[in-house]
Amino acid sequence: MSDRKLHLALGVRDLDASIADYSQRLGCEPVLVIAGAYALWRTKTLNVSVRVTDEAPGLRHLGWEDAAAEANSAETDVNGIVWEHFSAAGQAEEIRALWPQCDYSGPDGKHRRIKSFVLRQGHLSKGQEKALHDFGPRYCLPYQPALLDLDATFGRSAPRVLEIGFGMGQATAEIAAGRPDSDFIGVEVHTPGVGSLLKLAGESGIGNLRIIQHDAVEVLQHMLAENSLAGVHIYFPDPWHKKRHHKRRLIQSPFVQLLVSRLQPGGYLHLATDWEDYAVQMLDVLSANAELVNSADGYAPRPDYRPLTKFENRGIKLGHGVWDLVFRKRQA
């Protein structure tokens, strides 16, 4: 029996609350989280999974993780409960079939969540380095696996907008300065971009902006509460243009569901890209989410608040297209 673990599969409505609850009950963190969809824990005796469902929360099925299992199988007991029988590798294969963007290979493999970015060292200019020193303490928030008190962070109650991957920050600074009645949280992993935005914000005295230098998925999962955002901006995310790299694209169904969970009813999701096939994928993914409504018939005209960047202007002059998408979360 030492090579067997009892499997409990649960259907849940609130994935984040379930992760927090069951991590405490099981005494460990999940070995796998698929944003907005699924989580898996493995202890010495248990294999526990939770999966988001529209049905009533509760037991989905029972079973055994068994190292001796040669194939995945299932049977129903006398009470109508399904019992599955599988190996850890078989379970990992089933997970990858359901969520192709996940590279989980089981306890014997090296698991890492597929990320939409690659960290590059980049050159930090003297101005950016000085801005990190001078303005970082004012604007930068450390990542923490706990909910952020937004009212305390900004010293007021106001609509909050999250921008993911702000690059060098020119558009972010301009938007924040032009919308003083809203508060903005910029998330970026690259240090030169953080230094650049700090320089722009600090020298201009922009007060309604904060920066988190961390993976946006983890920021969303751990620092931002459900229904806390009035808007989300994602402008020109890496298109990962090679087909074999499409799994790295940020805009995938589980990630969009995570974004939707953080939006307030009526809140908006604004995407922009200059890669047509990525624009098509974005439109398909957003249109497939039952909680989102397109504000336009297909692609949207560029909202006045989104400035044209130098790169975008140059592309337009060369005849390159740019596609904006603006969707809103349905009112409760």
State how far the Cα of 45 lies from the Cα of 224, in Å rounded to an integer: 33
69 and 92 in contact (C-beta within 8 Å)? no
Same domain, 179 and 75: no
Same domain, 138 and 9: no
At residue 263 the predicted structure's pLDDT band, cuts being 50, 70 and 90, is: very high
Same domain, 184 and 304: yes
pLDDT in tens, 183-241: 999 999 888 999 999 999 999 999 999 999 988 988 998 999 999 999 999 999 988 77
Long-range contact pairs involving 116-123 (C-beta distance under 8 Å, separation at least 24): 116/237, 116/238, 116/240, 116/248, 116/249, 116/250, 117/165, 117/189, 117/215, 117/238, 119/189, 119/190, 120/190, 122/190, 122/191, 122/192, 123/192
Catalytic residues: 238
Whether residue 107 is contained in a domain is answered as: no
Backbone dihedral angles phi then psi of residue 184, each to the nearest 5 degrees = -125, 135
What is the per-residue pLDDT for 120?
53
Q: Domain range for residue 56?
A: 4-98
* Percent of residues, the chain, with pLDDT higher than 70: 93
Question: What is the CATH classification number for the domain harbouring 79?
Answer: 3.10.180.10
Q: What is the pTM of this model?
A: 0.67
What is the per-residue pLDDT for 1?
45
**How many domains does the structure of the chain reveal?**
2
Same domain, 77 and 218: no
Whether residue 315 is contained in a domain is answered as: yes
Same domain, 171 and 82: no
Same domain, 143 and 39: no
The label of the residue with tokens 């920066």 reads 211
pLDDT in tens, 112-169: 554 545 545 567 789 999 999 999 999 999 988 889 999 999 999 999 999 999 989 9
For β-strands 160-164 and 183-187, DSSP reports them as parallel
What is the per-residue pLDDT for 94?
85
The mean pLDDT of the chain is: 89
Whether residue 267 is contained in a domain is answered as: yes
Same domain, 138 and 14: no
Same domain, 90 and 153: no
Instruction: Identify the domain boundary among 80, 98, 116.
Output: 98
State how far the Cα of 106 lies from the Cα of 91, in Å rounded to an integer: 8
Q: Which of 323, 310, 327, 316 is nearest to 275 (CA)?
A: 323
DSSP 300: B
pLDDT in tens, 279-321: 999 999 999 999 999 999 999 999 999 998 776 787 788 778 8
Same domain, 248 and 150: yes
